[in-house]
């Protein structure tokens, strides 16, 4: 149903989600000396850049960087899929925490409030590139100091946008969501399927 693709991400959650909808993929690995999935991408927000544009720009840049690697290495020409997830609270872009103290501060800010989770997904085949953005709202219960410290000590928040994983221990923090559960996890499956179908049918839209 879907074309075979390269996944330009190290995220195990994105791998699991692609398998869930039956996508055949190879992880686009990185050679020694390369920093990882965003080695070619500056994640610094541009002056005045809105969060929707920011997250889509990064997903597009990661897909383009992945396709450059496919061409450099003379790999089989499959489409490259990349994604980026970020949170927005009070108009501020919140990415992955720098360290445990930053994770604690982020979770304290999210406590008892509603925030937005934005995930952009982009696909490039070297000739064209397309993207979609999923926007969801998540409301956290009020978190006490012990709950935050215990969760941060688990290590789970440290590699996740907004310092939590909804599919992990932080599920107990979530009172309500509006939007895409898979998008909050890091890969909105509805939008991903739409994009992959475009590259299956050859649709130029």
Task: Show which residues are catalytic.
Answer: 84
Which secondary structure element, helix H or strand E, spans residue 26, and what is its range? strand 25-27
> Could you give the CA distance from residue 144 to residue 57 in angstroms, rounded to a whole number?
36
Any idea what the Cα angle at residue 29 is, between residues 24 and 35, rounded to 5°? Answer: 140
> Could you give the CA distance from residue 58 to residue 196 in angstroms, rounded to a whole number?
19
Question: Which tokens belong to 80?
Answer: 């490259």
Give the largest CA-CA distance in the chain: 53
> Could you give the CA distance from residue 116 to residue 91 in angstroms, rounded to a whole number?
10
Question: Which tokens belong to 128?
Answer: 């064209």
Give 98's DSSP letter.
Answer: S
Q: Is 162 exposed, middle or buried (0-12, 13-18, 19+ CB in 10 A)?
A: buried
> Could you give the CA distance from residue 192 to residue 79 in angstroms, rounded to a whole number?
13
Give rounded-to-5 percent helix, strand, coil for the chain.
40, 25, 40
Which secondary structure element, helix H or strand E, spans residue 7, and what is its range? strand 5-7
């Amino acid at each position: 149903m879907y074309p075979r693709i390269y996944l330009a991400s190290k995220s195990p959650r994105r791998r699991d989600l692609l398998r869930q909808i039956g996508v055949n993929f190879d992880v686009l690995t990185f050679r020694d000396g390369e920093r990882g999935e965003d080695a070619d991408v500056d994640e610094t927000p541009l002056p005045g850049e809105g969060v929707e544009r920011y997250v889509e720009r990064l997903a597009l840049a990661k897909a383009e960087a992945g396709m450059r690697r496919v061409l450099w290495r003379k790999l089989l020409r499959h489409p490259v899929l990349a994604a980026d997830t970020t949170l927005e609270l009070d108009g501020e872009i919140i990415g992955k925490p720098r360290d445990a103290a930053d994770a604690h501060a982020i979770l304290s800010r999210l406590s008892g409030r509603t925030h937005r989770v934005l995930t952009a997904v982009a696909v490039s085949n070297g000739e064209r590139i397309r993207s979609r953005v999923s926007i969801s709202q998540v409301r956290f219960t009020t978190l006490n100091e012990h709950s935050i410290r215990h969760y941060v000590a688990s290590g789970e928040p440290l590699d996740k946008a907004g310092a939590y994983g909804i599919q992990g221990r932080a599920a107990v923090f979530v009172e309500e969501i509006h939007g895409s559960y898979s998008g909050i996890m890091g890969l909105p499956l509805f939008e991903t399927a739409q994009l992959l179908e475009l590259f299956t049918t050859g649709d130029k839209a």
